[in-house]
Structure 1
Amino acid sequence: MSQVPGTASSKVKMSPRKAEKCVMDLIDLFHKYTSPDDTVNKEGLQEMLKEYFPHFLRACDKMGKDYLSGVFEDNDKNHDKKIQFSEFLSVLGSIATDYHNHSHGAELCAGDDE
């Protein structure tokens, strides 16, 4: 069991809530692909997306969209050729938004063509 941040006593140990566990899992996923400077390069990001979001990428392919070709450039906001954690969250936010829209009947990967 891990200690939950913000608990009143450092002696109190609780299991993280489901949402907290999801956040910790995202951090672990990011760290699985980071270099020592805590960033992910283009190849690492593409490898991660292929491994962890294959259904999404297949849906994009069926829609005729090459999602992987622009995802890095679209999310490397400071143009340093590296994806920092906040930029990684932007990538996941776009994918999560698409899945949310899919839950309301939209085709998967039918989002904007920005």
Structure 2
Amino acid sequence: MAATHSTASRTPDCEPNCTLERALQTIVNVYHQYAPREGKDDDLSLKDLTELLKFQAPTFLAACNRSSPDYIPQLFKEADVDQNKNLTFEETIKVFALLADDAHRISHGEDRCGPDND
């Protein structure tokens, strides 16, 4: 059976309180909005990642000199573990972890550019 991106097979046992599962599904959905743009199967190119971050994470990019022209290419290079010039979902999760950490710092009113306090 071919894999699909559907959530139909999930059991609704914890609905309506599955906030984390809904958030994770949103992350997957956002990834899929950008991943197939250049004919790749479920991979992001540098262009795809740039567009994803510019449209989906402008608050993240606005801080800590992340708007510099070198920031996203360097981030891409660090996430591209196999150095094939594409990011798999697993590689992209490293970028999403930075976004989540930034959101966590914002929620606590912490310095977004310094070392992590926890």
What band does the TM-score fall into relative to the shorter chain? 0.7 to 0.9
Q: Distance in 1 between matches of 2:108 and 2:70?
A: 23
Match of 1:19, as an amino acid?
L
Match of 2:88 among 68, 84, 90: 84
Give the structure-1-normalised TM-score: 0.74
Q: Which residue of 1 aligns with 2:23?
A: 22
Query: How many residues are paired up?
Result: 106
Match of 2:73 among 61, 69, 75: 69
| Partner SS, residue 49 of structure 2 | helix
Where structure 1 has 5 or more consecutive residues not aligned to the other structure, the ranges are 9-13
Q: Is 1:41–2:45 an aligned residue pair? A: yes
Does the CA-based 8 Å contact 1:42-1:72 persist in structure 2? Answer: yes
CA deviation vs aligned residue, 1:57-94 (integer Å, no higher than 9, x gap): 11133897953231110100111100100111110102
Q: Which residue of 1 aligns with 2:4?
A: none
Q: Distance in 1 between matches of 2:28 and 2:12?
A: 20
| Partner SS, residue 81 of structure 1 | coil
Closer, same or farther: CA 16–88 of 1 in aligned 2, 3 Å: farther
Where structure 2 has 5 or more consecutive residues not aligned to the other structure, the ranges are 1-6
Match of 1:17, as an amino acid?
C
The farther-off stretch of 103-112 and 59-68 is 59-68
Q: Distance in 1 between matches of 2:83 and 2:77?
A: 8
Match of 1:5 among 2, 7, 10: 10
Identity of aligned residues (%): 28
